[in-house]
Amino acid sequence: MGQNEHLRNFGMLAVLIIILCVLPSNINLYQRSVILFTMMYVILSLSWNIISGYTGYVSFGHVMFYGIGAYATGILVVDYGWHWIATLGVGVFVSFVVSLCIGFPVLRLKGPYFAIAMLGAAEGTRVVATVWESLTHGGEGIGLPNVENSFETYFAMLVVMLATIIVSYWVGHSRFGIRLNAIREDEIAAESLGINTTFYKLSAFALSAIFPAAAGGIQAYKILYIDPETEFFILVTIYMKLFAMFGGKGTVIGPILGTFILYIVQEITWVKFPTAHLIAFGVFIVLVARFMPRGLMGYAIDKGWARKGMVH
């Protein structure tokens, strides 16, 4: 049992990957960008989902790790002349270390206190990026050398997205993931029944921090200009959270589905109603929250179209 389901899921993933590989040479630059940013938000919302969906610690500061990745790339490419691909590893490493340093104290807080602490941590990082001029060039930002990069960044994003999906899938279908779910459901019971909650929470937090750093780095090289205001913009956190919740947090497919639908809806409303697009988008979100509070996957489970639970 279970074997066929895994095969079917990996079959679906393979089809998606093939489409995404064939697509870029058949579409224009703008469309390539839209798909690239959609993939980026798949990475972000799946990562957010590991700590907030699986583990129940709702983070309002995840943009921090994305910003750290962007700055690692910006600084190393411009000031040290590194190849941009190599900078991604540094961003991931710094993000990993920062996630452990911040996670250790902050993961002792629960619910809204954790959310607010993360919001504060992200703002703090933004302030550091603004003030530490010798390293970050401060508020004026960093401009990267202008080159045609739409294909290389597209495929880099695809590879990181694939890695994020595979790791999320593994987490979701393993005892490691079940233990994260147990922490989300009842931390005292989980701790009393053999789960070292500190270790599992920190592991989940670190896992959820590394992929956004890679995505942030690629994104910096794609748009060629970074500054503290855009790289640590709270809207990035809100989007990743929203996409995951729309698809169904705590599932693997949910955040992927949620991002592909909502990001493209967002893009279309922006093109069609440039002035009112945030209002249209807002109305859509209110309707979803009212009628599908647990997202598309939650709705599918309630209707009996999808099975409850991840491990069968």
Partner 1 sequence: MADAEIALDIQNLKKYFGGIKAVDGCTFQVPKGQISGLIGPNGSGKTTTFNLLTGVLAADSGEVLYNGENIVGLRPYEIFNRGISRTFQITRIYREMTVFENMLSASSMKVPLREARARAEQLMEFVTLTKLRGEYGGNLSYGQQKLLEFARALMTDPDLILLDEPAAGVNRTLLNNLLDHIHHLQEEQGKTVLIVEHDMNVIMNHCEKVFVLDYGVKIAEGLPEDIQTNEEVIEAYFGHK
- Contact positions toward partner 1, by CB under 8 A? 175, 178-179, 181-182, 184-186, 188-197, 250, 307-312
Q: Which is nearer to partner 1, 18 or 311 (CB)?
A: 311
Closest CA to 164 of 57, 17, 1, 6: 17
Q: Which is nearer to partner 1, 182 or 209 (CB)?
A: 182
| Smallest distance from partner 1 to CB 184, Å | 8
Q: Which is nearer to partner 1, 100 or 178 (CB)?
A: 178
Q: Which is nearer to partner 1, 181 or 237 (CB)?
A: 181
| Smallest distance from partner 1 to CB 85, Å | 35
| Smallest distance from partner 1 to CB 186, Å | 5
Q: Which is nearer to partner 1, 15 or 193 (CB)?
A: 193
| Smallest distance from partner 1 to CB 55, Å | 13
| Smallest distance from partner 1 to CB 165, Å | 22
Cα 204 from Cα 198, distance rounded (Å): 10
Cα 252 from Cα 193, distance rounded (Å): 26
Q: Which is nearer to partner 1, 133 or 186 (CB)?
A: 186
Q: Which is nearer to partner 1, 123 or 191 (CB)?
A: 191
Cα 95 from Cα 101, distance rounded (Å): 10
| Smallest distance from partner 1 to CB 189, Å | 4
CA distances from 133 to 61, 63, 104, 107, 144 (A): 23, 20, 28, 30, 17
End-to-end CA distance of the chain: 8
| Smallest distance from partner 1 to CB 78, Å | 45
| Smallest distance from partner 1 to CB 82, Å | 39
Q: Which is nearer to partner 1, 123 or 187 (CB)?
A: 187
